[in-house]
Copies of this chain bind each other. A is one copy, B any other.
Amino acid sequence: VSVKRAATIDDVAAAAGVSTATVSRFLNGTQPVGEATAARVRAAAERLSYVPQAAARQLAQGRTHSLGMLLPDVSDDFFAPLLRSITDSATEHGYTLLIGIRPSGHERPLPLGKQNTDGLLVFDQSLSDAELHRLHAVHFPLVVLYRSPPPGVDVPCILVENRAGARAATEHLITHHGRRRIAFLRGPEGNEDSAQREDGYRDALAAHAIPFDPALVGVGAFRERVARDTVTGWLAANVSFDAVFAGDDGSASGALAALRQAGVAVPQEVALVGFDDAARARYLDPPLTTVRAPGAAVGRAAVHQLLRQIAGDDADLRTVLPTELVLRRSCGCPGNDQSQNLDDDPLSAGSGYGH
């Protein structure tokens, strides 16, 4: 047994005394094969430790059996549960996940496409509208996550219930904690999730006859430092507020840092609520009350819709997943970070790295 060259289907066929067609059929189960033949092929493949070469199958079949995932950038703890559910779902269906990172600014060509992938999960802004349009026009299977497709481009999308979640969070501050001067930290310009969260925030104010005050809306940009600076600015300017609803958990962290820095007690003086329930949320002090956006469910739904398209079926154009208010202590609730918070930690469920 030479160690130099990996065994090919020809080697297996020769060893088993059959044609390559038969080997292929048996290994793929695409057509019945005689019992005796099967045994010989199995033995030969085993003995030669034959592994089919992906490129050759891909070329012959015209499909790659792999899914691409395109990210605008790799950042923060929001990512882990999502990635995990996507890889799990893909693996479960016999697909390999190919990840391409698209740095912001995307000058470079797409690393992933029809050439190396059967379909693509597109995060947020990692594909421009024009690119989305072009790929969809050639019927390349696509699913967009955390955004809707541009008008006229019927690409299935996976969204979360931003508006209802944001409304629930804001109403909780009003109803349970008597807050009426609630500030809002916006996400990045043009971000769809953020716009919807702001709508929910306004819904809640309106429902409780609290006038909307533009002075209480600031930029958080889903960035910790930006949010910190904004809140620090408010404090310096003596803006009066008794609560902050942050557009995401990252900006909530920043707000918390600014408040702590200024000696403002959270939640006593200013209550705080975030959005996402990212991994860090439970570790903040006080633990962050936030709206859980189900990352794992988003991942599963995305893979499902992508596979339907690959199979030639129609996919749902719009999947909206429910959000849920998670009460911890930053809003003023008694919280419960002993059992609940740690035990359902989606991240500690794994085995962890060996480091």
Contacts and interface: CB of A to CB of B under 8 A. Distances in A.
Interface stretch (A17-25, A300-308, A342-350): A342-350
A354 B276 CA distance: 11
A353 B114 CA distance: 25
Contacts of A79: 80, 353
A78 B250 CA distance: 17
A348 B88 contact: no
A164 to B, nearest CB: 15
A125 interface: yes
A87 B293 CA distance: 27
Given A104-B350, A284-B285, A355-B124, A116 B54 contact: yes
A224 B115 contact: no
A1 to B, nearest CB: 11
Contacts of A284: 283, 285
A268 to B, nearest CB: 16
B224 A348 contact: yes
B78 A355 contact: yes
A156 B54 CA distance: 26
A87 B99 contact: yes
Interface stretch (A29-37, A67-75, A203-211): A67-75
Interface residues of A, number: 88
A255 interface: no
Number of copies: 2
Interface string A174-204: 0000000000000110011110000000000
Contacts of A345: 224-225
A127 interface: no
A337 B224 CA distance: 13
B54 A353 contact: no
Contacts of A112: 96
Contact of A87 (B55, B75, B101, B280): B101
A96 to B, nearest CB: 5
Interface of A: 3, 6, 51-56, 58-59, 64, 66, 72-80, 83-84, 87-88, 91, 96-101, 103-104, 108, 111-116, 123-125, 137-138, 146-147, 160, 187-188, 191-194, 221-225, 228, 248, 250, 253-254, 257, 261, 276, 279-280, 283-285, 293, 337-338, 342-343, 345, 347-355
